[in-house]
Structure 1
Amino acid sequence: METAPLKNLATWARKELIAQVDSRISAILAPTSPHRAESKKAVEATESDIASLGRDTVIEHVAYTWFNRIVALRFMDANGYTRAGVVSPALNQPGGQPEILADAKQLSFDPDIVPPATIARVTGLLDGSILSSDPQNEAYALLLAAYCRYWHTYMPFMFETAGDYTELLIPSNLLAADSILSRMVTTLSPDVCQDVEVIGWLYQFYISERKDEVFAGFKANKKAGAAEIPAATQLFTPHWIVRYLVENSVGRLWMLNHPDSNLAERMDYYIAPDTPETDFLRISTPEELTVIDPACGSAHMLTYAFDLLYAIYEEEGYPPAEIPSLILEHNLFGVDIDKRAADLAAFALTMKARARQRTFFKHKVHPNI
């Protein structure tokens, strides 16, 4: 995978989103802000978090939250997992506005996702019956928030519940020609989004400048606090190392228990024992193979383990429609000190499952991360 464009996107996006979120906070917390009346609880929650955590921390959190969600939505758009492009233009409209906004202009809404009150306000903004200094951006922000709430049902680790103050802090220029949406669509092409590994690369590059700051502090004899540890310790593991480790642990244990398995044919880094082994954990069914990555990051190790486990279940004759849910329920577990990385890990595994099973979202199975 060519990573230079991903690095350029992620490092630029962090600066851009931080600046935009900072501006949005100033706007909604202004004494005359209409949000103080319209979204009183969300404004109060914003002020409370700023008072307890600090403005910079809140800005960093919200900026990354929207980066996370926009990446997730673009990945799903590119793979056809959304009914209409949430952050992407329609397939025959390259460079156009997000498909859900273009549809709204034609009075086309998905009633399963966009509630009647939102439809009414978006329609009013777009036809001019509701006055706004920036009606299209305001309408799109309402639609984007509705879609995030919808996806909360299926991926609560990635998308907020209704009323979360991050909705108030949606970046305000998402429809600009050089916006994060435009750059995301260009960089994360459908070909790039065929590999869920892109998620991990983007996160590593997003925090790369923060990592540089932490290491500069080390040189100045500054100790890392809890907030600095993730940035200081995370590193994307090369794929060949992932394969070597997974194939000689998960794959090896299965081969020891099932010497007639054809699994070895797909494991390029597997090293078969020189002599017969008799002292090993006895495994009879795929469900008994439990794998935990205690520092899972964005799940690079677990997503490959998913592929290997899928092959095992398939070889054992399990129905393909059942395998993805079984793997997430019984086999894969992850832990990380960085919640943001853990959220991405859960998303990556969800995407692996959806790629194998068209109806996976209906099962509402959440990864054990």
Structure 2
Amino acid sequence: EEIKVLFDPKNEYSLIVPRYPVLKETIELINDSVNYDAYKEDEMLGWVYQYFQEREKDRIFEEVRTKKKKISGSDIIPVTSLYTEKYMVRFLVENSLGAMWMEMHPQSNLYKKWEYFVKDPNNTTREPKPIKEIKFLDPACGSGHFLLYAFDLFYDMYLEEGRVPENDIPEYILKYNLHGIDIDLRSIQLSALGLWMKAKTKNPDIRIGQINLVSADAVMVDGDRLNEFLDEFREDEVAKELVKTIWRGLHNVRELGSLLKVEEQIDEAVERMKSQTKLGKEWEKEPFTWESGK
């Protein structure tokens, strides 16, 4: 119930439950070949998934080398599945999120826990704000390695701020601070599981209601299905044209994911329709913004 993106009771795969002897044998097989200490590492899921994709990645690169094949959209997920080493994750998070914290709270001692933090020689400062308002986004989150380490920093920040009860901190981090996007649904599932386990480690009794992870693997409708959908807007040409613009703009969403930018196309369509329709004068009274257009 708490991580439906991975274990959704309504999903048909949830109906297929392995028999107990098979499940027991599988668990023993995994445990016999994996050092127990490995399970204590946050990036354990990332390690596994890296090798899960390895055979497919090798096949694609071999075809590129021997057959001069171009990498297609369906090949992007295995080809771009790269594991980021722990030291690199820590360096980047400590010198982005951590640096922001130190700019807001120059007297904080949290930096002493950050092995790769580089002090700002200029002692730059910024206006403090509640931790609840700080957003950490990984636009290609994979199995969540960056998010998991950012969780640790946020946890210490909340403790130092002292406004949120310690038992509630994991829920706050997942609900307000951490955000992730990936074109691979399996990566999102692993990120969700990793963050869920991280939160439960801090507070086993916590009830997790929201994890801000999005899989940008939408399948765009086409042909008759698209025409049927557009027909729902037959009484509103303005809305119909906007839907068409959005559809065209999202055409490569499976390949580009969070890199896709459709705002400019929609803005241009809005301006074009304002000049061509009677609604133009009404729209001028209340200019279109992304906040009002949600």
Whole-angstrom distance in 2 between the partners of 1:165 and 1:267: 42
Instruction: Answer whether contact 1:325 1:353 (CA < 8 A) is retained.
Output: yes
Q: Which residue is 1:328 aligned to?
A: 174
Note the C-alpha offset of 1:193: 1.7
The change in CA–CA distance for 1:163 and 1:368 in structure 2 (over 3 A counts) is: closer
Match of 2:97 in 1: 250
CA contact (8 A) 1:283 1:289 kept: no
Question: Contact 1:333–1:367 (CA<8 Å) still a contact in 2?
Answer: yes
- The whole-number CA distance in structure 1 between the counterparts of 2:208 and 2:23 is 38
5+ residue gaps, structure 2, are: 215-294
Counterparts of 2:15 and 2:112, CA distance in 1: 49
Is 2:68 the counterpart of 1:236?
no
Q: Deviations over 1:62-91 (max 9, x none)?
A: xxxxxxxxxxxxxxxxxxxxxxxxxxxxxx
Give the CA deviation at 1:186: 2.5
Counterpart contact for 2:104–2:128, Cα < 8 Å: yes
**Within 1, Cα distance between the matches of 2:23 and 2:210?**
38
Contact 1:328 1:368 in 2 (8 A): no
Q: 1:306 and 2:159 equivalent?
A: no
CA contact (8 A) 1:309 1:327 kept: yes
Residue of structure 1 aligned with 2:188, choices 342, 360, 365: 342
Alignment coverage as a number of residue pairs: 212
Deviation by residue 1:164-211 (Cα, 9 ceiling, x = unmatched): 14634x567x72599433212334565322222111000011111011
Among 345, 350, 353, the alignment partner of 2:199 is 353
Are the structure 2 counterparts of residues 190 and 354 from structure 1 closer, same or farther at C-alpha, using a change threshold of 3 Å?
A: farther
Amino acid at match of 1:354: K
Question: Separation in 1 of the partners of 2:128 and 2:194?
Answer: 27
Q: Distance in 2 between matches of 1:330 and 1:226?
A: 32
Residue in 2 aligned with 1:291? 136
Q: How far 1:366 sits from its partner (Å)?
A: 2.7
Residue 121 (structure 2) aligns with: 274
Query: Could you tell me the TM-score, scaled by structure 2's length?
Result: 0.67
Cα deviation for residue 283 of structure 1 reads: 3.4
- Tell me the equivalent position of 1:184: 30
* Paired residues of 2:90 and 2:116 also in contact (CA < 8 A): yes
Residues 147-186 of structure 1: pairs in structure 2 closer than 5 A: 153-162=1-10, 164-165=12-13, 167-168=15-16, 175=21, 179-186=25-32
CA distance in 2, matches of 1:319, 1:164: 39
1:338 to 1:176, Cα distance in 2 relative to 1, 3 A: closer
Rounded Cα–Cα distance in structure 1 between residues aligned with 2:201 and 2:95: 25
Structure 2 counterpart of 1:233, which letter? T
Match of 2:109 in 1: 262
Give secondary structure in 2 for the equivalent of 1:322. helix
CA drift at 1:232: 0.3
CA deviations 1:199-239 (Å, max 9, x no partner) are: 10000111110111111121121122222101001111010
Inter-partner Cα distance in structure 2 for 1:322 and 1:218:
50
Aligned counterpart for 2:53 among listed residues 207, 218, 226: 207
Amino-acid identity (%): 34
- State the one-letter code of the partner of 1:245: L
TM-score normalized by structure 1? Answer: 0.54
1:289 and 1:171 map into 2 onto residues whose CA distance is 42
Aligned to 2:70: 223
Q: After superposition, give the CA deviation of every residue in 1:100-157 in whole Å (9 maximum; x if it has no partner).
A: xxxxxxxxxxxxxxxxxxxxxxxxxxxxxxxxxxxxxxxxxxxxxxxxxxxxx12101
Say whether the 8 Å CA contact 1:296–1:335 is kept in structure 2.
yes
1:166–1:272 distance in 2 versus 1, CA, 3 Å: same
Q: Quick check: 1:175–1:181 contact (8 Å CA) kept in 2?
A: no
Kindly indicate whether the alpha-carbon contact (under 8 Å) linking 2:188 and 2:213 is maintained by their aligned counterparts in 1.
Answer: no
User: Which structure 1 residue ranges, 5 or more long, are not aligned?
Assistant: 1-152
Q: Give the letter aligned to residue 255 of structure 1.
A: M
CA separation of 1:305/1:202 partners in 2, compared to 1, >3 Å: closer, same or farther? same
Instruction: Tell me the CA shift for residue 160 of structure 1.
Output: 3.0
CA RMSD after TM alignment? 2.2
CA distance in 2, matches of 1:329, 1:239: 25
Asked if the contact 2:95–2:117 (Cα under 8 Å) also holds between the matched residues in 1, the reply is: yes
Where 1:368 maps in the other structure, the secondary structure is: strand
Secondary structure of 1:334's counterpart equals strand
Asked if 1:193 corresponds to 2:39, the answer is yes
